[in-house]
Amino acid sequence: RLLIIDFGSQVTQLIARRLRELNVYSEIHPYQNVTDALLREIAPRAIIFSGGPDSVTRAGSPRPPQAVYDLGVPILGICYGQQVMMQDLGGRVEAGEHATAEFGRAWVTPTGLQSELIEGWFTDAAGRAQVWMSHGDHVSEIAPGFEVLGTSPGAPFAITADRARRYYAVQFHPEVHHTPDGKRLYENFVKLAGFKGDWTMGAYREEAIAKIRAQVGDSPVICGLSGGVDSSVAAVLLHEAIGDQLTCVFVDHGLLRQNEAAEVVTMFRDHYNIPLIHADESELFLGELDGVSDPETKRKIIGRLFIDVFQNHANEIEGAEFLAQGTLYPDVIESVSFSGGPSVTIKSHHNVGGLPEKMGLKLVEPLRELFKDEVRALGRELGLPDSFIGRHPFPGPGLAIRCPGEITREKLDILRRADAVYIDQIRKHGLYDEIWQAFVAILPVRTVGVMGDGRTYDFACALRAVTSVDGMTADYYPFSHDFLGETATRIINEVKGINRVTYDITSKPPGTIEWE
Ligand code: XMP
Question: pLDDT by residue (tens digit) across 403-415?
Answer: 999 999 999 999 9
Q: Report the pLDDT value the prediction gives residue 503, as an integer from 0 to 100.
A: 98
Q: What percent of the chain has pLDDT over 90?
A: 78
Mean pLDDT score, 379-401:
93
- How high is the mean pLDDT of the chain? 92
**ipTM of this complex > 0.95?**
yes
Interior angle at CA 233, CA 305 and CA 389, nearest 5: 105
CA of 314 to the centre of ligand 1 (A): 25
User: Phi/psi at 88 (nearest 5 deg)?
Assistant: -60, -30
Q: Report the pLDDT value the prediction gives residue 132, as an integer from 0 to 100.
A: 92
Q: Taking 70 as the threshold, does the pLDDT of residue 342 lie above it?
A: no
398 is in an annotated binding site: no
Q: Quick check: do 2-192 and 201-389 share a fold?
A: yes
Query: Tens of pLDDT along 61-76?
Result: 999 999 999 999 999 9
Mean pLDDT score, 329-336:
56
Which ligand 1 atom minimizes the distance to the CA of 474?
Answer: 5
Q: Report the pLDDT value the prediction gives residue 358, as an integer from 0 to 100.
A: 75
Q: Taking 70 as the threshold, does the pLDDT of residue 214 lie above it?
A: yes
* Distance, CA of 172 to CA of 134 (rounded, Å): 7
Q: Taking 60 as the threshold, does the pLDDT of residue 16 lie above it?
A: yes
Mean pLDDT score, 95-104:
73
336: pLDDT confidence band, cut at 50, 70 and 90?
very low
Question: Candidates 3.90.180.10, 3.40.50.360, 3.40.50.880, 3.20.20.70; correct CATH number of 2-192?
Answer: 3.40.50.880
**Interacting residues of 400 by C-beta distance below 8 A, sequence separation 6+:** 255, 289, 298, 299, 302, 407, 516
343 is in an annotated binding site: no
351: pLDDT confidence band, cut at 50, 70 and 90?
low
User: Phi/psi at 192 (nearest 5 deg)?
Assistant: -70, -20
Q: What percent of the chain has pLDDT over 70?
A: 94
CA of 251 to the centre of ligand 1 (A): 18
495: pLDDT confidence band, cut at 50, 70 and 90?
very high
Q: Report the pLDDT value the prediction gives residue 135, as an integer from 0 to 100.
A: 81
CA of 496 to the centre of ligand 1 (A): 28
The H-assigned helical ranges of 217-294 are 229-242, 260-265, 282-289
For a pocket test of ligand 1, which of 230, 331, 349 has the largest count of ligand atoms closer than 8 A to its C-beta? 349
User: Phi/psi at 36 (nearest 5 deg)?
Assistant: -60, -40
Query: Tens of pLDDT along 444-453?
Result: 999 999 988 8
231 is in an annotated binding site: yes
Q: Report the pLDDT value the prediction gives residue 348, as an integer from 0 to 100.
A: 65
Q: Taking 90 as the threshold, does the pLDDT of residue 337 lie above it?
A: no
Mean pLDDT score, 358-370:
87
Mean pLDDT score, 224-246:
95
CA of 298 to the centre of ligand 1 (A): 14
Active site residues per annotation: 79, 173, 175
**Interacting residues of 361 by C-beta distance below 8 A, sequence separation 6+:** 222, 320, 321, 322, 323, 355
Check if 347 has its Cβ closer than 6 Å to any atom of ligand 1: yes
507 is in an annotated binding site: no
* Distance, CA of 74 to CA of 45 (rounded, Å): 7
Query: Tens of pLDDT along 146-172?
Result: 999 999 988 899 999 999 999 999 999
Out of 59-63, 165-169, 263-267, 470-474, least confident range: 470-474
Q: Taking 60 as the threshold, does the pLDDT of residue 79 lie above it?
A: yes
Q: Which amino acid is at 28?
A: I
> Which one-letter DSSP state was computed for residue 405?
S
Check if 395 has its Cβ closer than 6 Å to any atom of ligand 1: yes
Q: Taking 50 as the threshold, does the pLDDT of residue 338 lie above it?
A: no
* Distance, CA of 304 to CA of 278 (rounded, Å): 18
480 is in an annotated binding site: no
Q: Taking 70 as the threshold, does the pLDDT of residue 341 lie above it?
A: no
Q: Taking 80 as the threshold, does the pLDDT of residue 331 lie above it?
A: no
Instruction: Classify each residue of 360-375 as buried b or exposed e, where b means 16 or more C-beta atoms within 10 Å of its C-beta.
Output: ebeebbbbbbbbbebb
Out of 99-113, 137-151, 345-359, 383-397, least confident range: 345-359
- Domain residue spans in the chain? 2-192, 201-389, 408-503
CA of 110 to the centre of ligand 1 (A): 45
Which ligand 1 atom minimizes the distance to the CA of 350?
Answer: 17
Q: Report the pLDDT value the prediction gives residue 387, as an integer from 0 to 100.
A: 84
What's 408-503's CATH class? alpha beta
Q: Report the pLDDT value the prediction gives residue 350, as an integer from 0 to 100.
A: 59
Question: What HEC string does 464-496 produce?
Answer: EEEECCCCCCEEECCCCHHHHHHHHHHHHHHCC
372: pLDDT confidence band, cut at 50, 70 and 90?
confident
Check if 393 has its Cβ closer than 6 Å to any atom of ligand 1: yes
CA dist list (Å): 80 to 63, 162, 165, 172, 488:
10, 18, 20, 9, 57
Q: What is the C-alpha R_g of the chain?
A: 27
For a pocket test of ligand 1, which of 512, 513, 516 has the largest count of ligand atoms closer than 8 A to its C-beta? 513
* Distance, CA of 176 to CA of 352 (rounded, Å): 29
Domain 201-389 has CATH 3.40.50.620: yes
Find residue 464's DSSP bridge partners. Answer: 439
Check if 396 has its Cβ closer than 6 Å to any atom of ligand 1: yes
